[in-house]
């Protein structure tokens, strides 16, 4: 491609896909690159629930049945709880996994109020592990309680389930099979999928697919990132290759049962989540945007590359009650991965978007 690198082409696409400050309406970018105007009421409003200090990297989140948010941190191996409905939004520390770990990433529920969390071994700027093991911990919140001042009066039960010495950089995690105790975990560095049995602690790489790898030209060497199961398929985002893909998966082994296919083009995606209607909502950490894939078409719905509104948005989860089913809770790192305009870093936050107007 002559003197143009793919990275510079991607940067151009990012500029095209961004909402220019003051522009009346955003554009939708189809997987073929065609641009269309759209009449949804966009951008959607981003509402801050809690804002931390600089630097704080909120990495991922899960919603408890009671509506509280469990937030993993990447600037330290911390799991914290934030209650969007409480007067005080100050986080309660659920656990610090200790100095053997650099941070926490994926989180998924398997069993009522029992969550599994990825704790990452220390790693270098190339995301290669520098010591120890990455591990998965069980966090049982059935014994957890806090008083109205946020003081913990009942401790969670925390157990290490497995060390994964062969893993590169474990990232997104989701539940594959509740009865069998299976979760799947993205290894972003190796571009593979692990299946872990949380009852036995055994694990294997069960899918190794080309669409899970980063391109050699990517700004970070991270491929498969977010993972979700829907209609018998594993859906996965890829940070270092602008594709959103799926592959049929066995719910009893975690192995592929068919070949992979690309669903849509999504630039520099971190994690993503499905809304109940099947639309997929992507947190584009490295370009400060939230976009939606609907019928193979990608639409920017909040944030833009020049704005701190969603600086470093990492992951989203929808509420679980009828009232919050269209509320998308989001975590951000304030631009710690890629600063806004190359230099602006703001406090990481936990925020929400009411997505009801995006039909």
Ligand X SMILES: *[C@@H]1O[C@H](CO)[C@@H](O)[C@H](O)[C@H]1NC(C)=O
Q: Where does this chain bind ligand X (CB under 6 A)?
A: 21, 128, 132-133, 163, 165-166, 168, 189-190, 195-197, 202-205, 253-254, 306, 308, 340-341, 344
Residues 71/81, Cβ–Cβ less than 8 Å: yes
Residues 275/355, Cβ–Cβ less than 8 Å: yes
Which tokens sit at 305? 């590359």
Smallest gap from Cβ 228 to ligand X, in A, equals 19
Helix (H) or strand (E) holding 6: helix 6-17
Smallest gap from Cβ 315 to ligand X, in A, equals 22
Residues 80/95, Cβ–Cβ less than 8 Å: no
Task: State which residue, 114 or 325, has the beta carbon closest to ligand X.
Answer: 114
Smallest gap from Cβ 253 to ligand X, in A, equals 6
Smallest gap from Cβ 43 to ligand X, in A, equals 15
Question: Residue 231: is the preceding peptide bond cis (ω within 30°)?
Answer: no
Smallest gap from Cβ 182 to ligand X, in A, equals 6
Q: CA–CA separation, 221 vs 191, rounded Å?
A: 9
Task: State which residue, 26 or 91, has the beta carbon closest to ligand X.
Answer: 26
Q: CA–CA separation, 47 vs 2, rounded Å?
A: 44
Task: State which residue, 46 or 81, has the beta carbon closest to ligand X.
Answer: 46
Q: CA–CA separation, 24 vs 28, rounded Å?
A: 13
Smallest gap from Cβ 129 to ligand X, in A, equals 7
Question: 239 has which bridge partners?
Answer: none
Residues 313/269, Cβ–Cβ less than 8 Å: no
Q: What is the DSSP letter of 254?
A: -
Which tokens sit at 255? 């192995």
Q: CA–CA separation, 225 vs 192, rounded Å?
A: 10
Task: State which residue, 91 or 303, has the beta carbon closest to ligand X.
Answer: 303
Residue 106: which residues within 8 A CB-CB, separation 6 or more? Answer: 60, 72, 117, 118, 170, 171, 172, 173, 174, 185, 186, 227
Task: State which residue, 91 or 254, has the beta carbon closest to ligand X.
Answer: 254
Task: State which residue, 76 or 132, has the beta carbon closest to ligand X.
Answer: 132
Smallest gap from Cβ 255 to ligand X, in A, equals 8
Smallest gap from Cβ 144 to ligand X, in A, equals 27
Task: State which residue, 256 or 292, has the beta carbon closest to ligand X.
Answer: 256
Task: State which residue, 171 or 197, has the beta carbon closest to ligand X.
Answer: 197
Task: State which residue, 162 or 353, has the beta carbon closest to ligand X.
Answer: 162
Is 9 in a helix, a strand, or coil? helix
What are the Cα distances from residue 286, in Å, to 66, 107, 240, 251, 290?
32, 21, 10, 32, 11
CA-based nearest residue to 273, from 322, 309, 226, 313: 226
Task: Give the sign of the dihedral formed by CA 79, CA 81, CA 287, CA 106.
Answer: positive
Smallest gap from Cβ 128 to ligand X, in A, equals 5
Residues 112/64, Cβ–Cβ less than 8 Å: no
């Amino acid at each position: 491609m002559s003197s143009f690198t793919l990275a510079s082409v991607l940067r151009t696409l990012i500029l095209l896909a961004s909402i220019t400050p003051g522009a009346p309406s955003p554009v939708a970018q189809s997987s073929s690159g065609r641009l269309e105007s759209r009449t949804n009421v966009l951008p959607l409003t981003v509402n801050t629930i809690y804002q931390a200090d600089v630097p704080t990297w909120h990495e991922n989140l899960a919603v408890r049945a009671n509506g509280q948010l469990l937030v993993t941190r990447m600037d330290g191996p911390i799991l914290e709880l934030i209650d969007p409905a409480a007067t005080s939004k100050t986080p309660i520390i659920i656990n610090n996994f200790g100095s053997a770990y650099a941070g926490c990433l994926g989180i998924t529920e398997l069993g009522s109020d029992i969550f599994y969390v990825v704790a990452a071994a220390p790693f270098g700027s190339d995301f290669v592990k520098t010591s120890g093991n990455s591990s998965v911990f069980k966090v049982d919140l059935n014994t957890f309680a806090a008083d109205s001042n946020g003081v913990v009066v009942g401790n969670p039960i925390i157990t290490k389930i497995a060390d994964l010495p062969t893993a590169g950089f474990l990232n997104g995690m989701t539940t594959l099979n509740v009865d069998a105790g299976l979760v799947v975990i993205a290894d972003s560095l190796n571009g593979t999928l692990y299946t872990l049995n949380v009852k036995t602690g055994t694990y294997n790489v069960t899918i190794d697919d080309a669409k899970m790898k980063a391109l050699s030209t990517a700004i970070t060497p991270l491929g498969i990132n977010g993972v979700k199961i829907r209609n018998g398929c594993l859906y996965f985002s890829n940070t270092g290759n602008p594709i959103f893909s799926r592959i049929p998966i066995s719910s009893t082994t975690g192995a592929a049962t068919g070949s992979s296919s690309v669903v849509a083009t999504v630039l520099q995606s971190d994690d993503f989540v499905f809304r109940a209607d099947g639309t997929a909502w992507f947190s584009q950490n490295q370009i400060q945007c939230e976009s939606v894939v609907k019928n193979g078409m990608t639409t920017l719905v909040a944030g833009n590359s020049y704005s701190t509104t969603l600086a470093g948005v990492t992951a989203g989860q929808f509420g679980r009650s009828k009232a919050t089913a269209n509320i998308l809770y989001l975590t951000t790192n304030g631009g710690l991965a890629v600063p806004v305009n190359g230099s602006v870093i703001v406090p990481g936050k936990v925020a929400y978007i009411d997505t009801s107007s995006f039909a």
